[in-house]
Structure 1
Amino acid sequence: VGIVLLGDALTLPALLAILTSIFGIILISLPKSAGGRWTPDGSLWIGLLSGACFAVSSVSLRGASLSLGEASLLLSTTTTLAFVTLIQSAMLLAWLGVRERGQVGKLFRAWHHAGWVGVIGFLGSMAWVMAFTLKDAASVKAVGQVEILFTLVASHLIFRERITPRELAGILLVASGVVGIVLLGG
């Protein structure tokens, strides 16, 4: 999506590292079934469509931030994210106002609790947009897949879930893809 919309270029090592990471995610994500077989269903297509929409939004955030030209990284990131957050908030309020009127009042009454969540979420989103501004979205999202590793480790340590050999292979592929992007991605 970044190549098509923004003309981003990926080096061959970065592309290989991204593909390695993607293959690892696929291994981790395959369902655990008794027969060891997996057949695609409707959730596959919903997931792919969601991923495609997320790719377009990530690349669009990068494009919006880069379009601000000579502005500092902090200014372009903050401006882009503030604009996006205002649009999302207006759309959400309109949706709730039409579909679930009572929720708008509850939302505003809970501002002191939700406010901190919003601030922390905004700061996290700023980090993502900064990264998208500095580097192509494909590489940033591939490095971001490291969060899946943390999730698996936490599920093992906290919930005592067993990590299968297939998941372990996926973890190693994701980790090597992330390291490859960081070291060789250019």
Structure 2
Amino acid sequence: MSFSLLWIPVTLAASLLQTARNLTQRSLTEVIGVVGATQVRFLFGLPFALLFLVLVCLASGALPPMPDLRAFGFAVFGALTQILATALMLAAMRERSFAVTTAYTKTEPVQVALFGAALLGDALGWPKFAAIVVATAGVVLMSWKPGDKLSAAGMRPAALGIGAGAAFALSAIGFRGAIQTLPEGHFLMRATTILALGLALQTLLLTLYMLVANRPALILSLRNWRRSLTAGFLGAAASQCWFLGFSLTTAANVRTLALVEVPLAQIASRRIFSEGTSWRELLGMAMIVAGVGALLLLAI
């Protein structure tokens, strides 16, 4: 049985689950703050990742593969860069609007493609690279506010936002590298093993940090355990789908297809709030659809 195209539905599922997780985390932010809500994704997601791993082991009748030093190094790299990416993104959002910061961070697919080609040897021809650039340019066009100019004062948030996109790209490369370099196991086993390992590393690091620097937020997240568990489950489920995608195709393919959530979210918000859509937003959505469509045709 061929699983060559399975990355497409699992990536779409990851996008939907991530959107639901973001909504849940947004509600938690009002109660436990940004740092606390960010940490919930890891602390309360880890039990579900371990449960996923147990279920995969029971279904396959095999134990998880033991990561060698190279796979463990990739996992550590992915875990650390994902934490760094989140911190840079939040820092950028303190200084610029959500829309502009999103435009900066959504340069990630182009950076993923470049890093993947350089670090993992992922195939990257000019047609695929052109499709990624078109889709990413569409995101930037939709997110950018008319009249915004990059002045000297705006260099810091721009650097933070683009740095966040680079860190997210490196995180995707790190986790895909860890999955690829595991010595054995079916793609589902390898993806789930690295998910559990990555969340364990992130939970350990962030919990230690919060015990030292922000203990009240950690305590509040435990008190709000019901919503925290929901966010943790959605985060773990989304990550499970992302990692499955990474195990089946290049990180650039996965991250570019995930851009479909941008026009879908835009359409939904327009319908809910009965707001009009500008020509710039329509053109941006068309560019995203064209870029993603071209990527899928090249991948099939």
**SS of match in other structure, 2:150:** coil
In structure 2, how many angstroms separate the alpha carbons of the residues matched to 1:138 and 1:184? 13
Aligned to 1:58: 172
Aligned to 1:141: 255
Structural mapping, 1:32-111, within 5 Å: 32-33=146-147, 38-40=149-151, 41=154, 42-111=156-225
In structure 2, how many angstroms separate the alpha carbons of the residues matched to 1:49 and 1:110? 32
> Structure 2: which amino acid aligns with 1:156?
R
**Over aligned residues, Cα RMSD in angstroms?**
1.6
Q: Identity percentage over the alignment?
A: 32
Tell whether the 8 Å contact from 1:2 to 1:136 is kept in structure 2 after alignment.
yes
- Residues 122-162 of structure 1, C-alpha deviation per residue, up to 9 Å, x if partnerless? 11111111111111111211111001011110121112232
Length-normalised TM-score, structure 2: 0.58
After TM superposition, where is structure 1 displaced by more than 6 Å over at least 4 residues in a row? none
1:10 corresponds to 2:120: no
User: Please, which runs of 5 or more residues in structure 1 have no aligned partner?
Assistant: none
- Of 263, 267, 274, the residue aligned with 1:160 is 274
In structure 2, how many angstroms separate the alpha carbons of the residues matched to 1:113 and 1:173? 37
In structure 2, how many angstroms separate the alpha carbons of the residues matched to 1:169 and 1:87? 41
Length-normalised TM-score, structure 1: 0.91
User: Please, which runs of 5 or more residues in structure 2 have no aligned partner?
Assistant: 1-114
Tell whether the 8 Å contact from 1:62 to 1:137 is kept in structure 2 after alignment.
yes
Alpha carbons of structure 1 residues 162 and 39: separation in structure 2 relative to 1, 3 Å: farther
In structure 2, how many angstroms separate the alpha carbons of the residues matched to 1:83 and 1:147? 27
Higher relative contact order (CA 8 A, sep 6+): 1
Tell whether the 8 Å contact from 1:31 to 1:38 is kept in structure 2 after alignment.
no
Deviation at 1:12, TM superposition (A): 2.7
In structure 1, how many angstroms separate the alpha carbons of the residues matched to 2:282 and 2:142? 8
Aligned to 1:30: 144
In structure 2, how many angstroms separate the alpha carbons of the residues matched to 1:106 and 1:38? 40
Tell whether the 8 Å contact from 1:2 to 1:59 is kept in structure 2 after alignment.
yes
> Structure 1: which amino acid aligns with 2:196?
A
Deviation at 1:51, TM superposition (A): 0.3
> Structure 1: which amino acid aligns with 2:233?
V
- Residues 69-92 of structure 1, C-alpha deviation per residue, up to 9 Å, x if partnerless? 431111111110111111111112
In structure 2, how many angstroms separate the alpha carbons of the residues matched to 1:104 and 1:27? 38
Stretch deviating more after TM superposition (108-117 or 78-87)? 108-117
Aligned to 2:103: none
